[in-house]
Amino acid sequence: MSHELYVEGNKVTETDPSGYIQSEKDYVRVQAGYKAVAHNPAMASSTREEAQRTLSELEQAHADAQQTGEEQGPVKPATKNKGGSSSSAAADE
């Protein structure tokens, strides 16, 4: 199941494919989660690279949202794995 992240001000919203909001989180905490994954040597390099790409897109969307005052996104299509956690799990911290 694919989910998407949107940035509006200091809020990150995750929606499901139908557009229903699944979660809303503080931008700074989401950013910190992706930074932690991107710099964690215990994580697979592909996971770290994906986290870094998402972090860059998230930071750009946040900067754009700050300038325009409008919602920016989708930042990243996040996918649910078989365990039920999303690839945006770093954002849950």
Decide: 30 and 13 in contact? Cβ < 8 Å.
no
d(CA 65, CA 59): 10
Q: Is the dihedral of CA 45, 14, 74, 26 positive or negative?
A: negative
Residue 11, H or E segment: strand 11-15
Tokens, residue 59: 């930071």
- Is the omega angle on the peptide bond into residue 74 within 30 degrees of 0, that is, cis? yes
The identity of residue 69, as a single letter, is: G
Q: Which of 7-11, 30-34, 52-56, 83-87 has the lowest mean pLDDT?
A: 83-87
pLDDT in tens, 72-90: 777 765 444 434 444 444 4
Q: Give 39's pLDDT tier (boundaries 50, 70, 90).
A: very high
